[in-house]
Amino acid sequence: MPVEPSSLPAHTEQLLSDVASLPALPGVYRYFAADGAVLYVGKAINLKKRVSSYFQKNHGGTRIGHMVSKIVRMETTVVRSEAEALLLENNLIKTLNPKYNILFRDDKSYPYLKLTGVSPAVNPGSISGLSFSRVSYYRGAVEKKHHYFGPYPSAWAVKEAILLMQKVFHLRTCEDPVFNNRTRPCLLYQIKRCSAPCVGHISAQDYAQDVANAERFLRGDARQVMDVLEARMMAHAQALEYEQAAELRNQVAALSNVLHQQSVDNVSDRDVDILAVKVQGGRACVNLAMVRGGRHLGDRPYFPVHVEDAAGVYSDDEDDGDGGDVAAAPKQSVEAQVLEAFVAQHYLNVPIPPSLVVSEPVDKNLLKALSIQSGVKVSAVHQPREQRRQWLEMAQTNASLQLARLLAEEGSQQARTRALADALDLALDNLDELRVECFDVSHTAGEATQASCVVFHHHQMQNAEYRRYGIDGITPGDDYAAMRQVLLRRYGKLAETLQEAKKTGQTPAGTGRLPDLVLVDGGKGQVSMAREVFEQLGLDLSLIVGVEKGEGRKVGLEELVFADGRDKVYLGKDSAALMLVAQIRDEAHRFAITGMRAKRAKVRMDGGKLEEIPGIGPKRRAKLLQRFGGVRGVALAGVEDIATVEGISRELAEEIYRALH
């Protein structure tokens, strides 16, 4: 029976009209809340039937019901096929960060092992870095003229492979400028890690042969490389070239040792990714292990967000009958949902190997879409045997260990958050929403003053929300004025918006909120300045807490100073609340001082505005900086002082003075 209208969530006529006008075509849909936040991104073979099911059924108090009640706007994109819909869906999930989708945040790009190509334009008789391939660590976009191997799960794995290339094939790692200016072999030649092509100790032809063997080894043809080396060794021995034969014998021995250590080299799989998922306590971990060229390179854990909300929506969702959506098959476990989300999102921008070994079954349509995108036929094995089974069991063990470590760390961090809220009597309905902002000021004798603001939210530091503020227009070294400026800049507009909203009774969409706690690194002086700013802006003084150094400035003896008149508080050296305060304060200090140092280095090294003054070249700029210790020193000097520098006339000194003032 159709659901009575009164039992369904209330939606605008415009939204319901948009739903009714949807085409019966494949596509992707996005739901938006009143504040503009994206709630959910989904795909459908039949957009009309799929989206209508959300608004024609009573989902009750389920998670999907809560989500549907928040929908105020919808956007859709029609595509040509289910494969296109799947790829677009996961691109949008990564871009829009919807609350009710499982999201794997972008990690740093994977590292590669790089073998530089040889330039054919180089004179064959000359010794140049362009004539001898170099092995190196690489991260970034690939170029066709070079050869890349990987990706590797970590920088450590790449460095291990480079060390192997040095031990077995004696390939060079030095950069071209160093290579081109060598007059004698370096230490790597002495310890038999390089064949010293820089000084002609090996011919270009023999070095190229070593490079070719290294490439074959990295691609998984280790046995073929061994056979080639043994054949060359025997040929040299028969020709009575015992030194060359001994060198090849050493290479064979080193390679044989590597093959014995890498027990997985005897399998047929060359390039495989092993994926194991573990879900516990509302969190999930996907452990990705990589096999490249038949060698196990290591693994890397991934921790998605929104698992509980997304899994709830996914599980409560019902089939729309078009055979291509969430529940076309029996209900998936949370582990399977997490694994499919990882496969769909991770391999959008990362090369996918032809074989996946997985702990949960993966939808064939997803594999088909990835095959179309990558141009490589991708298969997935759910219940492997023999060597693959060992790989998967190892990945599952690592996933469990990594998730246990994460839960232990989060439990400890949540305990600290709870301790801080209790110690300061913070009235919070939801401890997860505790937001702390901390400010610090850093400079060197008044030079390059910068203030930092770091944010603690959801029991962890939120790096993406950190901000630096360049401080200008104050007396150099005046920390109080710097603190006043940064607080006004941070909260001035927000205070105006909140006051206006209080008058009108309406809060504009996108308006931020004040933190539950504002920490300032300092004692009574800094707190007094913060108090003046908050009084000027009409904000709650109880939010401000200063972190005052204890006796002897020892860590663990800090006291908390309040702006609303409360007495100072010492939480105790072993207090979990003080540990959290110290963690946030130290992060603000680190963020401020790194920014200050970068700004100071730019002024001192680049010369600031000096390089823009006509008549000031590198030599005169260097003399000015050396004479006055930096651009700030030049700016503080008078015309007469500047004119005393060698090569600076009075006219040019006047020009410099005008430019800096």
Task: Read off the pTM.
Answer: 0.65
Q: What is the mean predicted confidence (pLDDT) over 153-176?
A: 86
Lowest-confidence segment of 217-221, 474-478, 482-486 by average pLDDT:
217-221
On the CB side of 155, how many CA atoms lie within 13 Å of its CA? 6
pLDDT digits (tens, 9 = 90+) for 611-647: 667 778 778 887 887 777 677 778 778 888 888 888 8
At residue 600, the pLDDT reads 58
CA-based end-to-end distance of the chain: 80
Q: What is the mean predicted confidence (pLDDT) over 599-619?
A: 64
Distance CA 318, CA 328 (A): 9
Pick the CATH number of 431-504+514-602 from 3.10.105.10, 3.30.420.340, 3.40.190.80, 2.40.50.140: 3.30.420.340
Q: What is the mean predicted confidence (pLDDT) over 567-592?
A: 85
* Cα dist from 166 to 163, 170, 210, whole Å: 5, 4, 11
Distance CA 472, CA 456 (A): 27
pLDDT at 426 over 90: no
Average pLDDT of the chain to the nearest whole number? 81
Q: What is the mean predicted confidence (pLDDT) over 53-75?
A: 81
In the chain, the amino acid numbered 189 is Y
Q: How confident is the model at residue 4 (pLDDT cuts 50, 70, 90)?
A: very low
Q: How confident is the model at residue 15 (pLDDT cuts 50, 70, 90)?
A: confident
Structure tokens that stand for 523 in this block: 């004692």
**Can you say how many angstroms the Cα of residue 224 is from the centroid of all Cα atoms in its chain?**
39
Q: How confident is the model at residue 265 (pLDDT cuts 50, 70, 90)?
A: very low
pLDDT at 603 over 60: no
At residue 393, the pLDDT reads 92
Range picked from 46-50, 595-599, 634-638 for highest mean pLDDT: 46-50
> For the purposes of burial, counting CB atoms within 10 Å of the CB of 164, is it exposed (0-12), middle (13-18) or buried (19 or more)?
buried
Q: How confident is the model at residue 60 (pLDDT cuts 50, 70, 90)?
A: low
Q: How confident is the model at residue 320 (pLDDT cuts 50, 70, 90)?
A: very low
At residue 339, the pLDDT reads 93
At residue 599, the pLDDT reads 63
Enumerate residues 6+ apart whose C-beta is below 8 A from 460. Answer: 413
Do the two domains 272-317+332-404 and 431-504+514-602 of this chain adopt the same fold?
yes
At residue 330, the pLDDT reads 58
pLDDT at 327 over 50: no
pLDDT digits (tens, 9 = 90+) for 130-151: 788 999 988 877 777 888 887 8
Q: How confident is the model at residue 264 (pLDDT cuts 50, 70, 90)?
A: very low
At residue 400, the pLDDT reads 92
At residue 552, the pLDDT reads 61
pLDDT at 26 over 60: yes
Smallest Cα–Cα separation from 335: which of 378, 368, 304? Answer: 304
Q: How confident is the model at residue 488 (pLDDT cuts 50, 70, 90)?
A: very high
Domain coordinates of the chain in residue numbers? 5-82, 272-317+332-404, 431-504+514-602, 607-660
Question: 204-218 and 155-169 helices cross at what angle (nearest 10)?
Answer: 140
272-317+332-404 has CATH 1.10.3470 classification: no
Q: How confident is the model at residue 438 (pLDDT cuts 50, 70, 90)?
A: very high
The residues with which 295 forms a beta bridge, in sequence order, are 292
Give strand ranges (E) for 92-180.
112-115, 135-138, 147-149
At residue 427, the pLDDT reads 76
Bridging pattern class, strands 73-78 and 27-32 = antiparallel
Distance CA 543, CA 554 (A): 25
Q: How confident is the model at residue 166 (pLDDT cuts 50, 70, 90)?
A: confident
- The CATH homologous superfamily to which domain 607-660 belongs is 5' to 3' exonuclease, C-terminal subdomain (1.10.150.20)
From its phi and psi, is residue 326 left (phi > 0), alpha (psi between -120 and 50) or beta?
A: alpha
At residue 360, the pLDDT reads 93
Largest Cα separation within the chain, whole Å, is 98
At residue 310, the pLDDT reads 81
- The CATH homologous superfamily to which domain 5-82 belongs is GIY-YIG endonuclease (3.40.1440.10)
pLDDT at 586 over 70: yes
Higher pLDDT: 428 or 112? It is 112
Distance CA 381, CA 353 (A): 13
pLDDT digits (tens, 9 = 90+) for 500-552: 877 777 767 666 788 999 999 888 888 999 999 999 999 989 889 998 887 66
Q: What is the mean predicted confidence (pLDDT) over 486-511?
A: 81
pLDDT at 659 over 50: yes
Helix (H, G, I), strand (E, B) or coil at 342: helix
**Can you say how many angstroms the Cα of residue 101 is from the centroid of all Cα atoms in its chain?**
20
Helix (H, G, I), strand (E, B) or coil at 239: coil
| Cα radius of gyration rounded to whole Å, the chain | 32
At residue 634, the pLDDT reads 81
Distance CA 584, CA 438 (A): 7
At residue 273, the pLDDT reads 92
pLDDT digits (tens, 9 = 90+) for 179-197: 888 888 889 988 888 989 9
pLDDT digits (tens, 9 = 90+) for 341-399: 999 898 887 888 999 999 999 988 889 888 988 888 999 999 888 888 988 999 999 99
At residue 601, the pLDDT reads 58
Q: How confident is the model at residue 321 (pLDDT cuts 50, 70, 90)?
A: very low
On the CB side of 138, how many CA atoms lie within 13 Å of its CA? 20
